């Protein structure tokens, strides 16, 4: 059994997709990040950076529990354990790792920051909004170009690189104001992945997580939101 600690975010959804694809039994635990549960000593013992997702595999090395944090590391751990979603051929494996790292280093940070400034930036903060709109756009273009010559990100095989990237592209492309006509290959890929049985199951799980996610409360604590975003009284001076 694997315990999953998270919230209704793309980085958590990609872990749910991997678990469903690989057939692992898991239990999900909602972490109230607005209330600051991730800063409590029990959670910090799981992840010193106080972020979700985190997994605890109760049947890991030598049958002992093992904790993994950082979504990219979790995907690698799960794929290695199952012997699936990661190629054995060295060249194909390296392709997978490159596109997985591209997601971790570019898709997540740029899409996440673009989303943040669209939703939460003051109206006069055009510099930040423009910067991340441009950077996110470049990444969308890169993904589309790659998928114009490759069935999946790492080649002909569906891998953890696709699992990592799909939630971000599928959930945010429209919200970011991008046009699918500009990214037809990315759309083909998104539509193909959306039809996978494990992804369909994961979407239902994610909808249930979102419905019970305290962070999605219509009236969240202003102090909690400031703490989560690191602003106001929680900003570094």
pLDDT digits (tens, 9 = 90+) for 181-213: 999 999 999 999 999 999 999 999 999 999 988
More confident residue, 165 or 126: 165
State phi, psi for 176 to the nearest 5 degrees: -80, 0
More confident residue, 13 or 212: 13
Q: Measure the CA angle with vertex 39, ends 12 and 235; round to 5°.
A: 100
Q: pLDDT band for position 86 (50/70/90)? A: very high
> Mean pLDDT of all residues in the chain?
94
CB 2 within 8 A of CB 56: yes
CB 90 within 8 A of CB 151: no
Q: For 49-71, write each residue's pLDDT tens digit.
A: 999 999 999 999 989 999 999 99
The residue written with tokens 């756009």 in the block is 137
* pLDDT in the model for residue 40: 95
CB 187 within 8 A of CB 180: yes
Average pLDDT in the 94-118 region? 96
Alpha-carbon distance of 71 to 77, in angstroms, equals 10
Q: pLDDT band for position 28 (50/70/90)? A: very high
Q: pLDDT band for position 217 (50/70/90)? A: confident
More confident residue, 232 or 155: 155
Helices (H), 23-65: 41-44
Token pair belonging to 120: 């939460």
Average pLDDT in the 85-109 region? 97
Helix (H, G, I), strand (E, B) or coil at 31: coil
Q: What is the pTM of this model?
A: 0.94
Instruction: Indicate if the pLDDT at residue 36 is higher than 80.
Output: yes
* pLDDT in the model for residue 220: 79
DSSP state of 54: E
Strand pairing of 54-57 and 66-69?
Answer: antiparallel
Query: How many alpha carbons lie under 13 Å from residue 43 in its C-beta half-sphere?
Result: 20
* pLDDT in the model for residue 106: 97
Q: For 151-189, write each residue's pLDDT tens digit.
A: 999 999 999 999 999 999 999 999 999 999 999 999 999
Domains, the chain, with CATH or none: 2-84+204-234 (3.40.30.10), 90-195 (1.20.1050.10)
């Amino acid at each position: 059994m694997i315990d999953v600690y998270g919230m209704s975010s793309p980085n958590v959804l990609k872990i749910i997709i991997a678990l469903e694809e690989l057939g692992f039994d898991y239990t999900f635990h909602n972490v109230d990040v607005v209330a600051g549960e991730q800063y409590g000593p029990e959670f910090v013992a799981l992840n010193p950076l106080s972020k979700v997702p985190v997994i605890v595999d109760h049947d890991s090395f030598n049958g002992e529990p093992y904790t993994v944090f950082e979504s990219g590391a979790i995907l690698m751990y799960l794929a290695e354990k199952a012997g699936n979603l990661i190629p054995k051929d060295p060249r194909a494996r390296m392709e997978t790792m490159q596109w997985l790292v591209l997601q971790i280093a570019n898709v997540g940070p740029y899409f996440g920051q673009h989303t943040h400034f669209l939703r939460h930036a003051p109206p006069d903060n055009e510099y930040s909004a423009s910067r991340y709109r441009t950077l996110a756009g470049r990444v969308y273009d890169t993904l589309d170009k790659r998928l114009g010559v490759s069935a999946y990100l790492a080649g002909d095989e569906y891998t953890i690189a696709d699992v990592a990237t799909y939630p971000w592209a599928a959930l945010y492309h429209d919200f970011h104001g991008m046009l699918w006509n500009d990214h037809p290959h990315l759309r083909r890929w998104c539509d193909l992945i959306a039809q996978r049985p494990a992804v369909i199951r994961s979407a239902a799980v994610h909808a249930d997580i979102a419905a019970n996610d305290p962070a999605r409360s219509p009236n969240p604590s202003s102090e909690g939101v400031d703490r989560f975003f690191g602003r106001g009284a929680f900003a570094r001076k």
